Structure formats: C-alpha cells, structure tokens
Amino acid sequence: MKAMLFAAGLGTRLKPFTDKHPKALARVNDTTLLEHSIRYLQKHGINDVVVNVHHFADQIEQVLNENNGFGSNITISDERDEVLETGGGLKKAAPHFQNEELFVVMNVDVLTNLNLSKVMDAHKQSKAMATLAVMERESSRHLLFDKTMNLCGWRNNKTGEEKMAKEASALKPFAFTGIHVLSPQILDMPFEGKFSIIDVYLHFAKTSTIKGYDHTGDLFLDVGKPETLAKAAELFQ
C-alpha cells in the first residue's frame, strides 16, 4: 500500500516559523508533523510514502535521511522549481501509483484519529474513483454532497462562489479534512501544470462516483497556524 504526503506548501499561515523552515517540520509535542503523518500511515499498514517537496526541500530530505524515513520507504517528488498545488503535485507523482488498487493522499499538516482503514474499506465497497474524508464543521469552503454522500459541488462561503458538478436536492455542506483514498483512474486528469485536486474531483464527479466519508466526531486539527499548534499539543499527546 502506498500514500502521498503533500509537504510542498509555503505554510504562510505558520510564519515566522516558515520563514526559515518547511511547515512539515513544525513540531507537536516534540515530534514533527512529517513524522506524525508517517507514523499515522504506518498504523494503517502503509509503509511506502511519496513526499512532495518545494519550500526548504533540503531540510525535509535531511530529516528523512537522518531518520531512515522513520521506518518507511520514502520517495521524494521534487517540486523545487515550481510548487504545483495539490492536483499538479499528484499528477507529477502519478507514475508511483498507476499500478495500485488504491492509494492514500494526505496533507502533512493534518492531525486526526480517523480510522483510515475504515475509509479504505468504504472506498473498496463503493467502487468510487475517490473517497474524501469530511466533517460537519465551520470552514471558509465546503464540499456539497447529496444524501448518499456523492460529491455534487463546492462552495466558497466567503464569496458565495459555487462550482457544481451535478444537480441534486437537499445538498449538505461538509468540510474536507485533507485525507483522500483514491483509485488510479483519478490520475488520468485533464489538467496541466499547477491546479487544485478539488477541481479534479469536481470534473470527475460529473460522470463518476466521488464519495464523501463523514467522520464528524473524530479528533481533527488542521495544524496550519501557531494557535492550532498549541491546541494540537493538548489534543494529541
């Protein structure tokens, strides 16, 4: 089983730390977010991990080398020349996942007790192209699902902008929590360069099944700001 960790972001919300370091090396209880993510994947049987790098890429590579990948087999997807966002980053790394039955993608700044194995089981049963972990919580952006948790659209709650893949009644908003279980068919994405993975999901949702997995009630933190780093230290001891 393989996974991809998105670790290339600039981490602007974590300044001043990210003026000199990558977000992936911010620490929660003296353990980097990078190690937390790799250990989390290991708990669910995933020991082959592709890590994309851009911002202070050398520091991430050094930590991985010094710690022997924290026990996992690590492959670097190098975006030093240009950060490609989530969709472009996955497309660049696509050759690593073409032959997998399924694979996991995860943001490096996510901390959660979500049972990832259950998400993978649900993905297999639904035969979806993608299964996205989501929660009922406040967010500046929401994914919109129908009553059977099929993705239908996206909304920016600040601007009111909506992108719809299909029409449905009684759409319910959920916040994406940065963990995806994917089938390799998703890699045949009709976009180039720098783009968001959300646009890929909305594109395929028009003709294929993109599912949401509701894990409301689980512990979850997007550790993107200094104040959430402090909160994470309390919740994830």
Share above pLDDT 90 across residues of the chain, in percent, rounded to a whole number? 90
Q: What number is the average pLDDT over the span 80-96?
A: 98
| Mean pLDDT taken over the chain | 96
Q: What is the pLDDT of residue 227?
A: 84
| Residue 26, φ and ψ in degrees, nearest 5 | -65, 145
Compute the distance between CA of residue 143 and CA of residue 43 in angstroms, rounded to an integer.
28
What is the rounded CA–CA span in Å between residue 68 and residue 87? Answer: 28
The Cα 200–Cα 99 span in angstroms is 20
Whether 197 and 130 have beta carbons less than 8 Å apart is answered as: no
| pTM for the structure as a whole | 0.95
- Judging by beta carbons within 10 Å of its beta carbon (0-12, 13-18, 19+), is residue 30 exposed, middle or buried? exposed
Domains and CATH numbers, the chain: 2-235 (3.90.550.10)
User: CA 78: distance to chain centroid?
Assistant: 17
Per-residue pLDDT at 193: 96
Q: How far, rounded to the nearest angstrom, does the alpha carbon of residue 229 sit from its chain's CA centroid?
A: 18
Q: Enter the DSSP assignment of 185.
A: G
Over residues 120-175, the pLDDT tens digits come to: 999 999 999 999 999 999 999 999 999 999 999 999 999 999 999 999 889 999 99
Query: E-strand spans in 61-194?
Result: 73-78, 103-107, 110-112, 130-135, 141-145, 151-156, 162-164, 172-182
Residue 233 or residue 22, greater confidence: 22
How many other CB atoms are there within 10 angstroms of residue 21's CB atom? 18
| 168-195 confidence digits (pLDDT tens) | 889 999 999 999 999 999 999 999 999 9
Q: Is the dihedral of CA 160, 164, 166, 172 positive or negative?
A: negative
Q: Using 50, 70 and 90 to split pLDDT, how confident is the model at 229? A: confident
Task: Report which of 228, 225, 233 is spatially closest to residue 36, judged by C-alpha positions.
Answer: 233
